[in-house]
């Protein structure tokens, strides 16, 4: 597998590390990780870097994950790049909102590395 | 600290569905399913799930309530509920237990309750709140979560004014004790 450039957006630095570890455990390696603590920081990263995969929390201060998704679409910042939401919000309504905003996958916290593998690998293989 | 004061602006609003179907959903009342919402088993299952998946440890429910001693530093994380149910999910432990939780989550070692430990405890509380409300479909869809707030210090108390119901459970893993409290101060 060629190098996978990934943006992880979460207001918790601990969760960003856990997601990175889960990606490596899922066999997504070599992996280059860019981190952002909010949707606003995520937008800034996407303006400066090219990525192959975006993983984002929903419930964040300053700009939440759904608004981050809408901004990516509106500004055409990462065309064709799969976005997977990783969040504690897991109702059908939340999933529907995320898919409508452009998400290609959804992982509920708490999660296992196996779940990350199941949701993320098919998206990378299809890209 | 007055937990009832926590609800309000800081909450993300529970999503509203549009159209007829949405109106039917919003007319549901949690009062009809208050027994399900306040079922202690839901909280136990949520705690066990979060600790198993995120820390890789098995948790046991303890019979005696956990009381944080004022002598030692304690860590309290609060995640608020807003929407169909208002209230909060509260995680509380002594500092050494908080460090142990963070160590299991991150694979790092900690000598003090630093920002990473507080971050980890806030996330644990966030996942506990999310897992608990996810056990009741109406709650999962129509109750929002606030971002976590974490309080550290010695010799402080939590006061809750006349909650609708409250679940206060003590748990342990590998000899480390902590408590998780669900406070509901309003139900639609």
pLDDT of residue B25: 45
Q: Compute the nearest-CA separation of A112 from chain B (Å).
A: 6
- Of A17, A19, A101, nearest in space to A63 by CA: A101
Whether the predicted pLDDT of B175 surpasses 60: yes
pLDDT of residue A48: 97
- In the DSSP assignment, the letter for residue A92 is H
Nearest residue of A to residue B11, measured between CA atoms: A59
Name chain A contacts of B131, Cβ cutoff 8 Å: 88, 110
Higher pLDDT, B175 or B23: B175
Q: Which pLDDT tens digit goes with each residue over B111-126?
A: 999 999 999 999 999 9
Name chain B contacts of A17, Cβ cutoff 8 Å: 106
Q: Which pLDDT tens digit goes with each residue over A4-63?
A: 999 999 999 999 999 999 999 988 888 999 999 999 999 999 999 999 999 999 989 889
Cβ contact (<8 Å) for B106 and A17? Answer: yes
Pick the CATH number of B3-187 from 3.40.1550.10, 3.30.565.10, 3.90.1150.10, 3.30.70.2190: 3.40.1550.10
- Percent of chain A clearing pLDDT 70 (strictly above): 98
Whether the predicted pLDDT of B8 surpasses 70: no
- Across residues A111-117, what is the average pLDDT? 92
Among A18, A37, A59, A114, the residue to mutate for chain B (most B Cβ within 10 A) = A59
The beta-carbon neighbor of B123 closest among A14, A21, A90 is A14
pLDDT of residue B155: 81
Q: Which pLDDT tens digit goes with each residue over B30-63?
A: 666 677 778 899 999 999 999 999 999 999 999 8
Interface of B with A (CB under 8 A): 12, 15, 17, 49-50, 53-54, 102, 105-107, 116, 119-120, 122-123, 126-127, 129-131, 134, 137, 140-141, 145, 147
Q: Domain residue spans in chain A?
A: 4-119
pLDDT of residue B68: 62
Higher pLDDT, A17 or A92: A17
Q: Identify the bridge partners of residue B183 per DSSP, sorted by sequence position.
A: B88, B166
CATH code 1.10.10.10 for A4-119: no
Q: Compute the nearest-CA separation of A110 from chain B (Å).
A: 6
Q: Domain residue spans in chain B?
A: 3-187
Cβ neighbors of B156 (< 8 A, separation 6 or more) are B1, B70, B74
Sign of the alpha-carbon dihedral angle for B53, B145, A11, A78? positive
Name chain B contacts of A109, Cβ cutoff 8 Å: 54, 126-127, 130
Q: Compute the nearest-CA separation of A104 from chain B (Å).
A: 20
Q: How far apart are CA B182 and CA A66, in angstroms?
A: 27
pLDDT of residue B164: 84
ipTM for this model: 0.86
Cβ contact (<8 Å) for B140 and A91? Answer: yes
- Kind of pairing between the strands at B149-153 and B74-83: antiparallel
pTM for the predicted model, two decimal places: 0.85
- Kind of pairing between the strands at B149-153 and B143-145: unpaired
Name chain B contacts of A93, Cβ cutoff 8 Å: 15, 17, 141
pLDDT of residue B45: 96
Q: Which pLDDT tens digit goes with each residue over B85-114?
A: 999 999 999 999 999 999 999 999 999 999
Whether the predicted pLDDT of B28 surpasses 60: no
Cβ contact (<8 Å) for A89 and B106? Answer: no
Helix (H, G, I), strand (E, B) or coil at B117: helix
pLDDT of residue B7: 35
pLDDT of residue B36: 76
Q: Over chain B, what is the mean pLDDT?
A: 83
Nearest residue of B to residue A63, measured between CA atoms: B12
Q: How far apart are CA A16 and CA B106, in angstroms?
A: 10
Cβ contact (<8 Å) for A91 and B134? Answer: yes
pLDDT of residue B66: 63
- Across residues A50-78, what is the average pLDDT? 94
């Amino acid at each position: 597998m060629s190098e996978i450039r990934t943006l992880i957006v979460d207001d918790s630095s601990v969760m960003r590390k856990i997601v990175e570890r889960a990606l490596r455990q899922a066999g997504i390696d070599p992996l280059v990780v860019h981190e952002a603590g909010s949707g606003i920081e995520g937008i800034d990263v996407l303006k400066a870097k090219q990525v192959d995969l975006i993983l984002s929390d929903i419930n964040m201060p300053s700009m939440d994950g759904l608004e981050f998704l809408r901004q990516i679409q509106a500004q055409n910042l990462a065309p064709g790049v799969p976005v997977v939401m990783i969040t504690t919000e897991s109702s059908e309504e939340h999933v529907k909102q995320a898919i409508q905003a452009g998400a290609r996958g959804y992982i509920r916290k708490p999660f296992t590395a196996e779940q990350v593998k199941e949701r993320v690998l098919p998206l990378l293989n299809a890209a | 600290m007055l937990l009832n004061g926590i609800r309000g602006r800081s909450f993300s609003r529970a999503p509203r569905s549009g159209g007829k179907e949405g109106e039917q959903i919003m007319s549901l009342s949690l009062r009809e399913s208050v027994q399900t919402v306040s079922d202690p088993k839901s909280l136990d299952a949520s705690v066990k799930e979060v600790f198993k998946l995120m820390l890789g440890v098995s948790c046991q429910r303890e019979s005696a309530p956990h009381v944080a001693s004022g002598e030692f530093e304690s860590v309290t994380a609060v995640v608020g509920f807003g929407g169909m149910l208002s209230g909060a999910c509260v995680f509380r432990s002594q500092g050494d237990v908080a460090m142990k939780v963070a160590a299991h989550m991150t694979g790092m070692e900690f000598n003090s309750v630093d920002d990473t430990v507080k971050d980890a405890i806030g996330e644990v509380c966030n996942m506990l709140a999310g897992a608990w409300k996810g056990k009741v479909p109406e709650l999962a869809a129509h109750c929002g979560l606030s971002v976590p707030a974490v309080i550290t210090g010695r010799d402080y108390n939590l006061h809750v004014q006349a909650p609708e119901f409250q679940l206060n459970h003590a748990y342990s893993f590998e000899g480390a004790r902590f408590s998780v409290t669900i406070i509901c101060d309003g139900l639609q």
